[in-house]
Structure 1
Amino acid sequence: MTEISSKYLIGPSTGGDGLTRVVTGRDHTGAVQDISVVEERPLTIFLNGQEIVTAMTIGDYPEYLALGFLRNQGMLALDETVLGVDFDEELETVVVRTDGGTVYEEKLKKKTRTSGCAVGTVFGDMMEGLDQVVLPQVQVRTSWLYSLAHQINQTPSLYLAAGAIHGSVLCQEDRPLVYMEDVGRHNAVDKIAGWMLSEKATAGDKIMYTTGRLTSEMVIKCALMGIPVLASRSGFTAWGVEIAQTVGLTLIGRMRGKRFMCLSGADRLIWDADLDAVADDTGKRRSKDD
């Protein structure tokens, strides 16, 4: 790990810990070459005695993933007490136990396949609860955004080691705090939600940075988590922008080098960055629609 990545409360993996596997192939010249590829494994999430979903994941932080998924699906109420989170590596299951009942048969009948990588799934009405969201009118300096992008893009990560993965980073002002990766950007955000729930972390003073597309799913998750700012190197979907404008979330995309686009919530921004001092984008590139 570099000095940058050591500053995270939770930093990304760089491989070598069971999250990647070495595979032998041939390159464009026909030469034999070994490369690292990301592992995928199923994780079945139970809430009390009810099976909820089986997610494909890289396998790190399964407890956070389970907690965050259930919270973001509206299956863990804010006033509900989590009594325990038990992960069984052999059975590839996580059981979340609470002091409340679990009756979600009707909600589980209505599934939406989202645009997330690894096929995200949302149960029930995707828009449920959004009409009650009130995001704080915090101020965000553009100098923070440039600093965050530089730090995150320079951090050794599983993506840089093996590719085929997305990252999401919880930030506060110009400090990246928790960096999670997974085959689906929705999983990475759910892990952060689980960490926030476990640590009782506040949301109103946070920024979410993601390497993935700014879709409806990503906007909805951040809004329901209470995070007022969502930023990405990648682009937008029209519905994602529309929802962000409706709930008053600051949505910033196409952050590369000196450039970015804010399509919602620009009133939160303080334009204090000296663009002459902002470095050009020289990191490993993803496509604009990653």
Structure 2
Amino acid sequence: MQLAQRTDNSDFIIAPDPGAPRLTRAVEGVDQNGEVSRISVVEERPLTIFLNSQEIVTAMTIGDYPEYLALGFLLNQGMLKRDEVITGVDYDDDLETVVVRTASQTTYEHKLKKKTRTSGCAVGTVFGDMMEGLEGVSLPATPLRTSWLYALAAKINRTPSLYLEAGAIHGTVLCHEDRPLVYMEDVGRHNAVDKIAGWMLQNRVDPSDKVLYTTGRLTSEMVIKTAMMGIPALASRSGFTAWGVEIAREVGLTLIGRMRGRRFVCLSGEERLIRDIDPASVAEEDKKHRRKSAEA
């Protein structure tokens, strides 16, 4: 497991590494004044995921943690079960492929025929029977303190990341109470959450007391994936879709959006919020971060 290297990211189990040479590239352009401008842009590269001998999907990704991405994608698509016996996860950098092997052979040709493209970025792929995976899902009514939300937002928004370095990327963070644990980034918010799902699967992490924080929109697929992961709370800087809100209410997911400074909106699970801090005591978001968010 790759651990955080930066001192100011020491609280994380996995933290962003904006200085990693494979993740960004310096590109020269010309600004509004006609002057040469040199900026960092995020790299994209394909990753083809196999389940045993079956090719499943090719995702555009920044290329870090390919094994977690493959495991999480297959899990969130219902192709892997949590109790599946996984005999190997093999990544080939030259071929840009990762193969997940299980003790029992399974085929998914019929599911591949039902594949559709969602409103999400990059791979954003969902199968029609993902909704079927929600049948019987009932998330634990885990309390959520507003002091934790404010502390998480302040910590995450100040963490050195590709999001702050180069923009054009989404971040998703697995948290426990007021501590961010695993911070994943990718060109698609679905990739980022799949990496976390893969890490949780491989490390057998209990989801019942966790919070998922994302910089992306709270769409139906984000809500579905969070619920299928067993995480009872999902929070974001961004807004909601109506279907995402509807699904969250059906499965008992606490859904928090538009978190900026001391402000947020809860559209599902308000009864589980413990308001243990006065919002007036929370600092407003600094202008630098607001500007960077708008550019991204």
TM-score, normalising length: structure 1:
0.97
Name the residue aligned to 2:222.
218
Q: Please give the root-mean-square deviation of Cα atoms over the aligned residues, in Å.
A: 1.4
Name the residue aligned to 1:21.
25
* Deviation of 1:287 (Å): 4.2
Deviations 1:221-261, CA, capped at 9 Å, x for gaps: 00000000000000000000000011110000000111100
1:8 maps to 2:23: no
CA gap of 1:9–1:109, structure 2 versus 1, over 3 A, is: same
Name the residue aligned to 1:39.
43
Q: 1:134 aligns with which of 135, 138, 148?
A: 138
Name the residue aligned to 2:158.
154
Measure the CA separation in 2 of the matches of 1:143 and 1:4: 21
Name the residue aligned to 2:240.
236
* Deviation of 1:15 (Å): 3.0
* Deviation of 1:126 (Å): 3.0
Name the residue aligned to 2:272.
268
* Deviation of 1:131 (Å): 1.6
1:76 maps to 2:59: no
The secondary structure found in structure 2 opposite 1:152 is: helix
* Deviation of 1:4 (Å): 3.7
Q: 1:187 aligns with which of 187, 191, 195?
A: 191
Tell me, which stretches of 5 or more residues in structure 1 are unaligned?
none
Q: 2:90 aligns with which of 86, 89, 110?
A: 86
Q: 1:209 aligns with which of 173, 195, 213?
A: 213
The secondary structure found in structure 2 opposite 1:115 is: coil
Deviations 1:153-209, CA, capped at 9 Å, x for gaps: 000001111110000000000000000000000000000000001110010110000
Residues 169 and 185, structure 2, Cα contact 8 Å, conserved in 1: yes
Residues 4 and 151, structure 1, Cα contact 8 Å, conserved in 2: no
Residues 170 and 185, structure 2, Cα contact 8 Å, conserved in 1: yes
Measure the CA separation in 2 of the matches of 1:77 and 1:157: 32
| Percent identical | 71
Residues 219 and 243, structure 1, Cα contact 8 Å, conserved in 2: yes
* Deviation of 1:75 (Å): 0.3
Q: Which sits farther off after the overlay, 72-81 or 60-69?
A: 72-81
* Deviation of 1:116 (Å): 1.0
1:65 maps to 2:69: yes
Deviations 1:4-55, CA, capped at 9 Å, x for gaps: 4221000012134210001111111111121100000000000011100000
Q: 1:114 aligns with which of 113, 118, 121?
A: 118
Measure the CA separation in 2 of the matches of 1:239 and 1:276: 32
Tell me, which stretches of 5 or more residues in structure 2 are unaligned?
none
The one-letter amino acid of 1:128's match is E
Measure the CA separation in 2 of the matches of 1:124 and 1:4: 42
The secondary structure found in structure 2 opposite 1:191 is: helix
Residues 123 and 190, structure 2, Cα contact 8 Å, conserved in 1: no
The one-letter amino acid of 1:61's match is Y
Measure the CA separation in 1 of the matches of 2:6 and 2:241: 34
Measure the CA separation in 2 of the matches of 1:77 and 1:35: 42
TM-score, normalising length: structure 2:
0.95
